[in-house]
Amino acid sequence: MRHRHLATITLAVGLVVLTDVLRVFLPSVITIFGQAASTPAELLGGFALGWFVLALAAPALVGRVGARPVGVAAAVVLCAARLALTAAPGGRTQLWLATTGLLAGLVWLAAIAARIAQPVPGLTLGLTAGALGHGLVGTHDLVWWGSWEAWALSVVLVALLLVGETALVRRPDTGDAVGQWPVGQRPVGQRPTGDQAVPGGRGWLLTGPALLLGGMVALSPAVASTAMSFWFGDAGTAVPPLFALAPLGVAVALFVLGALTPPRQRWRPLSPVLLLAGAVLFGYGPPVVLGVAMLLTAAGLGGCLALTAGSGEAATATRRGYAALGGMLVFAVGAVLHYAAYDIGYPNGWLPVLVAALVGVVALGGLRRHRPAVPAAVADPVPAWPAAGLAALLAFVAALLHGPWLVATNRDGPPEQVRLVAYNIRMGFGLDGRLDLAGLERAVGRADVVVLSEVDRGWLLNGGHDTLHLLAARLEMPYVFAPAAGALWGDAVLSRWPVQRAQTRPLPAVGAPTGAQALGVTVDFSEGVRLAVVSTHLQPPPGTDPVVQARAVAEFAIAYADGVPLVVAGDFNTEPGNPAFAAFTGAGLVDAFAAVRPLVTSPADEPDEQIDHIFVSPDLATSDPVAVRSIASDHLPVAVTLTLPTAAGQ
């Protein structure tokens, strides 16, 4: 890989590999170390943050041993862990492999920071490549595939990093600091080595914040597809939209152009303003503006990176290492604080705004620093427009690959019976901590209507997957989504028949940290036969019964159905005999599992709680009630067959 952009390409590929490991590490902390929310959030956060703090010793190690040997050794461990995760059976093995890969990746980052003076081109291409790769696989990471294709692509990825690292070491003119200058400036007449001051410290400091904001909103394929669905209605969309990932193409183009184009003097403050505006919309705006938030954040983030590249600020190799790892610590703290809010219960919209403000301060602060005392000449910048065009093209290819699918709906009149499944899918992660789409598909079976709880559509903490889109594609069932906690987490209804009149109602929080809602849709079987379906996930404060929310759902459901046969299903976090359970039976609804009680559903491996339920109106006959055995989530799915009234009866 003897190329003038060798260092840039190596940094980009390494960042992609590290991001892949992070997408396993973060959900593993929650699902494996966290043991299905039984571990206190404070302990989870301490475990996650501890490894980033430990990595702060890496710059001293690099200074003592040397950047080259430390970088090669760390890259080898990182690549080995990445490949091992593809074969890992899940559980604690997966957790410790991901932890090892994360720590090795952070050490590698410190080592390459000591050798690359200006990181902005590599960071830009790495963040873009990671986003595009995630989009091209439909946000279903290679580590979860379990196929030879995943192995082949993973081997190619790690081989690129190892070849790049080897080529960097063997390159005789590298020294210990390779300058990569996207804004057309490069020292000439000398190649600084060791701890000699060269530009780049502020760019390295933005590594973690850029990874956080990019993964949360700016460069997330899952956020792009979710944003598209909200453009079709407040409750998501009943049909996956054409070019579901299209916003990603615009976002990556804006990001690359912003990062690799020299900013004009008069427009330099614009990038921090755009970034801050996007973060505010993401943190506080309604779901319908999610796409706008994504585009603003992408454009502003790229522009802020460009400002650090042109600052001319001096930093030693050691300082660059600390800057890179300090930025990654910001990533870890930001991620923990943002998502811990859903367990502990405090506002978290301010977090992305604060990180955006920090990025803006770092970007603008560099403008006041002195330029290096060495002459400058035009270097070999990464061409902005071709890079942006290629990125946009690949994003639109991903949109074509993962666009809408054709679903065979009822063509011969309404069915006599409908199989309905209610399932808390825990963001798609099974008890072994792996994203188990195949297991979820088997558990759902050939259901006609599926009610889902704990649906994740892009939380960075869970790897940034659009779990709903992935599962709906496997089931070949269109969906309607309703957010409950932010725009990316909530409940959904999938149906093999057309749906109408999607409505949502936020439920009173009553002290619960995580939001809750009720989603109503009407399934149209044609010939006047309809079924009202209400999906919900009650969220009581710890140790209390969600009776207030239950009454709100029952009231909403009966008013929404307005005489149409009704089903209310989901994770109710209440058991038969409790006040919340009685709120539904007291409203005239029937327990579909009354004949087979007790029907335990949680936890999935050794269930001892009856908290997942299906209630129906008295005019619906039910049969074959069951809790399906599966460990694809921490809950068991519950299913029942409904016999529909005739159109005249409705």
Three-state secondary structure call for residue 527: coil
pTM for this predicted structure: 0.91
449 plus 391 within the same structural domain: no
CA–CA dist 253, 218 (Å, integer): 11
Q: Per the structure block, which two tokens stand in for 445?
A: 């079976």
Residue 484 — φ and ψ, nearest 5°? Answer: -120, -35
Question: What per-residue confidence (pLDDT) applies to 411?
Answer: 55
Query: Do residues 54 and 103 touch, judged by C-beta distance below 8 A?
Result: yes
Q: Give me the number of domains the chain comprises.
A: 2
649 within some domain: no
Please report whether residue 412 resides in a domain.
no
Peptide bond before residue 603 is cis, with ω within 30 degrees of 0: yes
What 3-state DSSP class applies to 628? coil
480: which strand partners?
Answer: 493
Say which residues have a Cβ less than 8 Å from residue 185's Cβ, sequence separation at least 6: 310, 312, 376, 377, 378, 379
Residues across the chain: 650
Domain co-membership, 142 together with 284: yes
- What's the pLDDT score for residue 650? 56
Are 166 and 315 part of one and the same domain?
yes
Residue 108 lies in a domain: yes
Shared-domain flag, residues 230 and 363: yes
Residues 366 and 461 in one domain: no
Q: Which residues pair with 530 in a beta bridge?
A: 524
Pure H helices in 116-191: 120-136, 148-170
Are 86 and 13 members of one domain? yes
In a domain, residue 408? The reply is no
- Using DSSP's 3-state secondary structure scheme, residue 575 falls into coil
Count other C-beta atoms under 10 Å from residue 266's C-beta: 7
Beta-carbon count within 10 A of 348 CB: 17
pLDDT for the residue 262 = 84
Instruction: Summarize pLDDT for 377-416 with one digit per residue, the tens.
Output: 233 567 888 888 888 888 888 877 776 665 655 556 778 8
Separation of CA 540 from chain center: 25
Q: Which of 401, 429, 464 is the last residue of a domain?
A: 401
Distance, in Å, from the CA atom of 257 to the CA atom of 641, rounded to the nearest integer, reads 54
Q: Sign of the CA dihedral 37, 41, 44, 49? A: positive
Q: Tell me if residue 495 falls in helix, strand or coil.
A: strand
Q: Does 356 reside within a domain?
A: yes
Sequence-distant (≥ 6) Cβ neighbours of residue 140 within 8 angstroms = 435, 437, 465, 470
Distances (CA, A) of 548 to 44, 159, 267, 505, 541: 30, 56, 52, 14, 11
**What phi, psi does 572 have (nearest 5°)?**
-100, -10
Judge whether 184 lies within some domain.
no
Residue stretches of the chain with pLDDT short of 50 = 1-2, 173-176, 178-198, 312-313, 369-379, 648
Structure-block tokens of residue 397: 């290819």
DSSP structure string for 406-443: ------SS--SEEEEEEEE-GGGB-TTSSB-HHHHHHH
What CA–CA distance (Å, rounded) separates 397 from 5?
Answer: 26
What backbone phi and psi angles, to 5 degrees, belong to 315? -155, 140
Residue whose C-alpha is closest to residue 442's, from 256, 253, 628: 628
Residue 392 shares a structural domain with residue 456: no
* Same domain as 491, residue 355: no
Paired tokens of 256: 């690359």
In a domain, 465, yes or no: yes
If asked whether residues 427 and 391 sit together in one domain, one would say no
The amino acid sitting at 29 is: V
Using the 3D structure, point to which of 334, 369, 401 is the last residue of a domain.
401
Asked if 476 and 441 count as a contact pair (C-beta separation under 8 A), the reply is no
Rg (CA), the chain: 26
Structure tokens at 376: 């400058």
The CA distance from 10 to 452, in Å, is 42
Query: Residue 622: which H helix or E strand, with range?
Result: strand 621-627
Cis peptide before 69 (omega within 30 of 0): no
- Are residues 380 and 427 located together in one domain of the fold? no
* 8 Å CB contact between 566 and 616: yes
Task: State how far the Cα of 307 lies from the Cα of 309, in Å rounded to an integer.
Answer: 5
Q: Is residue 569 within 8 Å of 422, Cβ to Cβ? A: yes
Statement to judge: residues 388 and 430 lie in one domain: no
Answer yes or no: is 160 within a domain.
Answer: yes
Q: Does 452 lie in the same domain as 397?
A: no
Structure tokens given for 519 = 């989603």
Q: What are phi and psi of 369, to 5 degrees?
A: -80, 155
* CATH number where 602 lies: 3.60.10.10
Beta bridge partners of 451: 422, 493
CATH number at residue 207: 1.20.1250
Residue type, 206: L
Record the tokens describing residue 533, joined without a space. 């379906």
What phi and psi, each to the nearest 5 degrees, are found at residue 622? -120, 150
Cβ pair 136, 398 in contact under 8 A: yes
Last residue of a domain, one of 401, 426, 451: 401
Nearest Cα neighbor of 420 from 649, 612, 573 is 612
**Structural domain boundaries enclosing 631:** 417-643
